[in-house]
Amino acid sequence: MTDLIAAPGADTAQTTVVAAALPPNDGGRPVEWAPREPAPKKRHVGLWVGLGTGVLLLAAGAASVLLIAPGTSIAGVQVGGLTPGAAADVVSSHLANLQITITDIGDEQVITGADLGASIDARTLADEAFTSHPMWNLGSWMPEPITGAITLDTVLAGDTLRALIPASFTDAIDAEVVFDAATAAYVTTPAVAGTGINLEDLTTAVTTALADGDSTLNYSGAPAEAPAAVSDDEAASTAESLNTMLGSIGFYVGEERTVPVAPDVAATWLEVVDENGALTITADASAIQGVVDTLPAAVNRAAVNAEVVTNSSGDVLRTLTEGATGREVGDVSNAASDFAQQLENGNAVYELNVNETAFETTALFRRVDLNLSTQTVTLYENETVIERWPVSTGLPNTPTPTGNFTVFGYTSIQDMVGNDYVTPDVPWNTWFAPDIAFHGAYWHENFGQQMSHGCVNMPVWQAEYVYEWTAMGTQVAVHW
């Protein structure tokens, strides 16, 4: 046979294998020579040992990058050498399996943290523990304990404890706020305390037990006072807020409460609701809508023009009619719902949007003309004769003074006293010159003739007319 090709440097004496065939043996299979055993291979023990140690070191290094430092604890549970996920599971499991023996109830009962819905944000705390204290950082080993907030599921815990020790529980009665029709105000009814198990204290006890590394805990189930969720102070505060709103509730145009709302009507809009121990105020928009529907009739008005009395210079001497702007309420389609939301927020003033129409002012220039020659008095308004009457002015020995005067005073009735006369109860005196007035004369009817001591006599009804028609500052012209 042809020699096999040897690799360079190989031992060629060992590269040829001879296998000769023998004749058949009794017709059976031919017998072949077994190939010569190859030379034993060299063992590289040092290499393999070195590789094993390297792998172990690499594995240890990789693990140190994934694990929490030794000596680290979360809520009293040791988590050193664990991954964050495993650490979170250990902490949660330890809390769930914590055994709590309820004492002081006759036969003691045992429940677990899971029965109370005890929980902790274990994953977040574990991630924080790994971030702050990784195993690879030797300086972070054996750190201060990591604390975490433990909470109880108040509903589950309450149900569990009530079923376990019903005798320890008496329901408290919340303080209430109700409308009193007799006083038209909101009043309160007092709270009544009950009994139960203080879940805050129980949570603290669970937290302490876990932090101490305990797996069991004794806790007294004896009834403790359980205050009402709604206290007297909270009810009083809510009543005060409501009564404040009753004092101002309504629909406003500017600062004017154009459409006030009576307290008993407002009380049909408002309701005080106890939501899990917190008092809230709700408002019924559908009830408010009834008043909103009346707003146009209550708010809309035509403009009212002003009338004023002036002198010849245009100075206003008196206002006869106050002017008022016209107004028409704007869109109120959302007023009921908007007002309901305001009331729930404590605001009882609803400001209406109105369109206003300005008023006009009419000036009335009024003056009085006294003609001594004709013994007549004429009243002018914007140079139009309003009234003209015969009067009696001063006699020659006591003449009525001439000139331009202005009204400076009024007395509805008084005695007229002179050197040789006293006339009692002279009515409707309009004074325009020193000691001279227009006034009523009930003692004679000789009007159109000089009769007086200087004043201007006229029938009583006419004197009242002048008294009411003129104003302080009205011009009076006296002439022949």
Domain of residue 293, CATH code: 3.10.20
Q: Do 311 and 186 fall into the same domain?
A: no
Q: Are 405 and 311 in contact (CB under 8 A)?
A: no
Q: Range of 343's domain? A: 233-359
The confidence score (pLDDT) of residue 162 equals: 94
- CA dist 288 and 295 (Å) reads 11
The confidence score (pLDDT) of residue 36 equals: 39
Q: Do 292 and 200 fall into the same domain?
A: no
Q: Do 303 and 415 fall into the same domain?
A: no
Q: Do 336 and 385 fall into the same domain?
A: no
Q: Locate the DSSP E strands across 222-348.
A: 224-226, 250-253, 256-260, 270-275, 278-283, 306-310, 316-321, 326-329
H/E run at residue 480:
none
Q: Do 318 and 367 fall into the same domain?
A: no
Q: Do 115 and 214 fall into the same domain?
A: yes
Q: Half-sphere exposure of 258 toward its Cβ, with a 13 Å CA cutoff? A: 23
- pLDDT tens-place string over residues 375-403: 999 999 999 999 999 999 999 999 999 99
The confidence score (pLDDT) of residue 277 equals: 87
The confidence score (pLDDT) of residue 143 equals: 95
Domain termination site, one of 203, 227, 251: 227
Number of domains in the chain: 3
- CA dist 346 and 340 (Å) reads 10
Q: Do 455 and 379 fall into the same domain?
A: yes
User: Model-level pTM greater than 0.75?
Assistant: no
Burial class of residue 231 (count of CB atoms within 10 Å of its CB; 0-12, 13-18, 19+)? middle
- pLDDT tens-place string over residues 404-414: 999 999 999 99
Q: Do 210 and 243 fall into the same domain?
A: no
H/E run at residue 339:
helix 335-344
Domain annotation covers residue 220: yes
Q: Which among 167, 76, 88 is positioned nearest to 124, based on CA atoms?
A: 88
The confidence score (pLDDT) of residue 13 equals: 34
Q: What is the mean pLDDT of each run of 10 residues along the chain (480 residues)?
A: 31 34 38 38 41 44 81 94 96 96 92 96 96 94 94 95 94 96 97 94 94 93 94 96 97 96 97 93 97 97 97 97 95 97 97 96 98 98 98 97 98 94 96 97 97 97 98 98
